[in-house]
């Protein structure tokens, strides 16, 4: 099998330490703000989507998606 | 050549706990090698101090025994010795601190971006691993649960209470980021031969980076045990070219685990 190209969310200098909770949360918010600013069709936001999916546990993402639908998401979207 | 090969087959790296083990397991990552080197550095000073203090203690007890030395001396000051015994013990921790801080800061240094992110999610009595680098939507992660094989079930050659049904497969010689978080109560993801121990605290997501330098199967244990049959963590490092096919086959049950390299 040929070499798979391995790539993931890069190390972010805003979050240099062990605790990456805010990193994951920030990437999620960045994605949705990018969507709000540029619209769903443009592919520019896909990069942020990959980052938050790599960093955040699926449970957290599901919970946040639900909160966004209910309008109770506690972040600056 | 045959002799050399035979020799190689009998020397297996220690990547799991051995009975009555005194030393560390063999290092599989640069971090663990650094930890072992630091241990040797500190142990040298430790032995020096132990021998020195023991000798003085034994000498004092021997020569100043009340039968041999009934009249004690009345010396209360000694400026030279007081200066020396203050300066020398403050130099020794400096020799210990220098390699210790070097290791500590080099562990945190980000030289290269990680190539893969693996999420290790602790559940009360098992672990879930998510490989989400290639999703195109929120639902598609490669996710699997990893349960300890119970005591009655292991096959011949497997370690009791250390084996799991699905191992974490990682490519060797690649910078990995492991994100550790729990779903319920605090856990801790630890693999001694890789020099990793990362606590999983509810509501918090911790990252640890490793780069496994040799292929093999590494055994670890959860360091905040949450119940019976809870503890095992098994990481399998495969050559980078095999990584893609191993991961895509991961969800197919493996029937011949003991034969796997």
Reported as a single tens digit per residue, the pLDDT across B115-136 is 889 999 988 888 889 888 877 7
Query: Mean pLDDT throughout B57-76?
Result: 89
**pLDDT for B207-219, tens place per residue?**
999 898 988 888 8
Across B154-173, b (16+ Cβ under 10 Å) vs e yields beeeeeebbbbbbbbbbbbe
Enter the tokens of residue B190.
Answer: 């630890």
What is the model's pLDDT at position B259? Answer: 32
Asked if the Cβ–Cβ distance from A8 to B245 is below 8 Å, we say no
Average pLDDT over chain B, rounded to whole?
Answer: 83
Let me know: does A55 contact B117? Beta carbons within 8 Å.
yes
Per residue in B235-246, pLDDT (tens digit) is 777 777 777 777
What pLDDT does residue A69 have?
A: 92
**What is residue B69's predicted lDDT score, i.e. its pLDDT?**
86
B245 and A1 within 8 Å at the Cβ level: the answer is yes
Looking at the predicted structure, is the pLDDT value of residue B261 above 50? Answer: no
Using a CB-CB distance cutoff of 8 angstroms, which residues of chain A are in contact with residue B174?
6
pLDDT at residue B7 in the model? 56
Chain B residues with CB under 8 Å of a chain A CB are 108, 110, 113-117, 119, 121, 130, 132-133, 135, 138-139, 141, 143, 171, 174, 177, 179, 181, 183, 198, 203-208, 240-245
pLDDT given for residue B4 in this prediction? 59
Residue B135 has a CB neighbour count (10 Å cut-off) of 17
Query: Which residue of chain B is at minimal alpha-carbon distance from A21?
Result: B205
pTM for the structure as a whole: 0.80
3-state helix, strand, coil in chain A (%, to 5): 55, 0, 40
Judge contact between B147 and B165, C-beta under 8 A: yes
Report the pLDDT value the prediction gives residue B256, as an integer from 0 to 100. Answer: 34
Per-residue pLDDT tens for B181-211?
998 889 889 898 888 899 989 999 999 998 9
Dist CA B209 CA B29 (whole Å): 10
pLDDT tens by residue, B36-49: 999 999 999 999 99
pLDDT string in tens for chain A (77-residue length) = 455 677 888 888 898 888 999 999 999 999 999 988 887 777 778 888 889 999 989 899 999 999 999 999 998 88
> What's the pLDDT tens digit per position in B137-182?
777 778 888 888 887 777 777 777 788 888 888 888 889 899 999 9
Q: Please give the backbone phi and psi of residue A23, each rounded to the nearest 5 degrees, phi first.
A: -60, -50
Closest residue by Cα to residue B120 from B168, B192, B186: B168
Least CB–CB distance from A20: residue in B143, B207, B243: B207
Does residue A3 contact residue B240 with C-beta atoms inside 8 Å? yes
Report d(CA B187, CA B144) in Å as an integer. Answer: 18
ipTM of the complex: 0.86
Which CATH architecture fits A21-70? Orthogonal Bundle (1.10)
Q: Tokens 């598609």 appear where?
A: B140
Q: CA angle B74-B50-B19, nearest 5°?
A: 150
- pLDDT tens per residue across span B71-113: 888 888 899 999 999 999 999 999 999 999 999 998 887 778 8
Q: Cα(B243)–Cα(B167) distance, rounded to whole angstroms?
A: 13
Exposed, middle or buried, B142 (CB in 10 Å: 0-12/13-18/19+)? middle
Mutate to test the interface with A, among B133, B182, B249 (most CBs of A within 10 A): B133
Which domains are present in chain B?
Answer: 30-108 (1.10.287.90), 116-260 (2.60.40.420)
- pLDDT score of B38: 95
Residue B139 to residue A62: CA distance in whole angstroms: 9
Task: Specify the pLDDT at position A7.
Answer: 82
| Strand partners of residue B122 | B127, B182
Backbone φ, ψ for residue B236 (5° rounding) = -115, 125
From B27-36, B44-53, B163-172, B249-258, the region with the lowest mean pLDDT: B249-258
Show me where the domains of chain A are located: 21-70
Q: Per-residue pLDDT averaged across B53-81, rounded? A: 90
Given a contact cutoff of 8 angstroms between Cβ atoms, the answer to whether B202 and B142 are in contact is no
């Amino acid at each position: 099998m040929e070499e798979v190209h391995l790539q993931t969310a890069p190390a972010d200098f805003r979050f240099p330490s062990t605790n990456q909770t805010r990193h994951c949360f920030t990437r999620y918010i960045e994605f949705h703000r990018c969507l709000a600013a540029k619209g769903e069709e443009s592919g520019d936001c896909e990069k942020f989507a990959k980052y938050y999916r790599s960093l955040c546990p699926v449970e957290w993402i599901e919970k946040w998606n639900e909160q966004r639908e209910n309008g109770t998401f506690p972040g600056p979207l | 050549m045959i002799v050399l090969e035979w020799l190689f087959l009998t020397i297996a790296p220690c990547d799991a706990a051995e009975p009555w083990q005194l030393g560390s397991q063999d290092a599989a990552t640069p971090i663990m090698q650094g930890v072992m080197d630091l241990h040797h550095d500190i142990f040298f000073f430790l032995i020096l101090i132990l021998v020195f203090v023991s000798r003085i203690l034994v000498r004092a007890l021997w020569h100043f025994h009340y039968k041999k030395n009934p009249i004690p001396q009345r010396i209360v000051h000694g400026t030279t010795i007081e200066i020396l015994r203050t300066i020398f013990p403050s130099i020794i921790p400096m020799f210990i601190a220098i390699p210790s801080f070097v290791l500590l800061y080099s562990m945190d240094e980000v030289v290269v971006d990680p190539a893969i992110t693996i999420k290790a999610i602790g559940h009360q009595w098992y672990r879930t691993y998510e490989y989400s680098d290639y999703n195109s939507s929120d639902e598609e992660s490669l996710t699997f649960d990893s349960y300890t094989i119970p005591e009655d079930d292991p096959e011949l050659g497997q370690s009791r209470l250390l084996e799991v049904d699905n191992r974490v497969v990682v490519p060797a010689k690649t910078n990995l980021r492991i994100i550790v978080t729990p779903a319920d109560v605090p856990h801790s993801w630890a693999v001694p031969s890789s020099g990793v121990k990362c606590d999983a605290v509810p509501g918090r997501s911790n990252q640890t980076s490793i780069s496994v330098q040799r292929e093999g199967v590494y055994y670890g244990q959860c360091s905040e045990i949450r119940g019976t049959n809870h503890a095992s963590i098994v990481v399998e490092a495969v050559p980078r070219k095999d990584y893609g096919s191993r991961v895509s086959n991961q969800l197919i049950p493996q029937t011949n685990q003991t034969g796997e390299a």
